[in-house]
Amino acid sequence: MTSPIRLLSAVLLLAAGLAPLRAQTAEPPEPAHFVFVLHADKQIAEVFDGASLTPLAAPEVGFGAYRAFGLPGSNDTGAGAKFYVLAPRAVRVLDAGFRPTATIALSTPALAGRQGAALSSDGATLMVATSAGLYLIDTATDAVASYLPAGFPVAGVALST
């Protein structure tokens, strides 16, 4: 039986190895529909319309927030829109009106930067890497589905489609 640590190592190495290939063949990114400005010294994020840069909201997301994700289909603020903002010790969930609806606590600090988290292409799972392991967050329930301790310092997470 393969240990969880070896499995995580294989997944991270495979994903990291495929990421450059995907980057070379990827389609150009769509224009931003919403722009999140995250402040290291404030507990709020500023949300702007991506086309006009009109201010839309200033939700409380916690100090040190560094990354935001919108679920697929969140390009407009319809009923199903949902956003995730990552901070060192928590993931803040925002609804279509950019109001906080949940906070998912992380027992170890999340890795900052692009490599610290990834959202599956279907939007079902948000993966958050920490210095000690990997959180899998179910976006349907906004809860930790599982945590995989790595047993070694994690450098990041990447997904391949």
Residue 110 CB: number of other CB atoms within 10 A? Answer: 22
pTM summary value: 0.76
Q: Pick the residue with more confidence: 8 or 107? A: 107
Contact between residue 57 and residue 68 where contact means Cβ atoms under 8 Å apart: no
Residue 84 CB: number of other CB atoms within 10 A? Answer: 25
149 burial (CB, 10 Å; 0-12 / 13-18 / 19+) is middle
- Which helix (H) or strand (E) segment holds residue 7: the answer is helix 4-25
**pLDDT for position 40:** 84
**pLDDT for position 104:** 97
- Strand ranges of the sheet holding 100-105, from the earlier edge strand across to the other edge: 67-70, 83-87, 90-94, 100-105
Q: Pick the residue with more confidence: 98 or 8? A: 98
**Tens digit of pLDDT for each residue in 60-115?**
999 999 999 998 775 555 555 899 999 999 999 999 899 999 999 998 888 887 78
In CATH, what is the architecture of 4-23+33-149? 7 Propeller (2.130)
Q: Where are the domains of the chain?
A: 4-23+33-149
Q: If pLDDT is split at 50, 70 and 90, which confidence band does 24 have?
A: very low
Q: Over 90: is that where the pLDDT of 1 sits?
A: no
**Tens digit of pLDDT for each residue in 29-60?**
455 689 999 998 899 999 999 889 999 999 99
Find the radius of gyration of the CA atoms of the chain: 16
- Return the bridge partners of 37, or none: 46
What token pair was written down for 97? 């009106």
The set of residues, in sequence order, having a beta carbon less than 8 Å from that of 11 and lying 6+ positions away, is: none
24 SS3 class: helix
137 burial (CB, 10 Å; 0-12 / 13-18 / 19+) is buried
Q: d(Cα 44, Cα 65) in Å, to the nearest integer?
A: 8
